[in-house]
Amino acid sequence: MSMSSIIIDVETDENRVPDSIKWKATDTSIAGAQKAKAMMLSFWDGSEKTALRIDLWTKDMMIDEMTDFFYQTMMTMADTFGRATNHDEIAGDMKNFAQDFYRKSRDKQLKENKA
């Protein structure tokens, strides 16, 4: 049996707001740590039947980047759900929601930028 590790380093300011996020994995050909502006990490606790999460983003994460990040994450979650359950119709509903979210978020940002 093999073991893989993912190491996440978060540097914070005096108010514990993330300044930088860096991560590296043992099973990759990429040397050194990779920078990230945001991260979402979820674990399922089967005995408690609850999700445990860590959601972090840096100060320099822009709203348009957050919109893209959420949209891409929701689309990937829909794909994963579809593969895991074979509930393709529900996975499609999730993707439709993600696309609607993306359109509404972009429209809101365009209106705010014009004001």
Here the tokens at position 82 are: 């579809």
Backbone phi and psi for residue 54, each to the nearest 5 degrees, phi listed first: -130, 115
Neighbours of 17 (CB within 10 A): 11
**Beta-bridge partners for 54:** 41
Q: Name the band, by pLDDT with cuts 50, 70 and 90, for residue 50.
A: very high
CA 102 – CA 31 distance, rounded (Å)? 34
Q: Name the band, by pLDDT with cuts 50, 70 and 90, for residue 41.
A: very high
Predicted local confidence at residue 93, as pLDDT = 98
Q: Does 27 score more than 90 pLDDT?
A: no
Question: For 24-28, 53-57, 63-67, which range has the lowest pLDDT when averaged over its residues?
Answer: 24-28
With 0-12 CB in 10 A as exposed, 13-18 as middle and 19+ as buried, what is 91? buried
pLDDT tens by residue, 65-86: 999 999 999 999 999 999 999 9
Could you tell me which residue, 87 or 113, shows the higher pLDDT? Answer: 87
Predicted local confidence at residue 55, as pLDDT = 97
Backbone phi and psi for residue 78, each to the nearest 5 degrees, phi listed first: -65, -45
Could you tell me which residue, 37 or 113, shows the higher pLDDT? Answer: 37
Domain ranges of the chain: 1-59, 62-115
CA 90 – CA 76 distance, rounded (Å)? 14
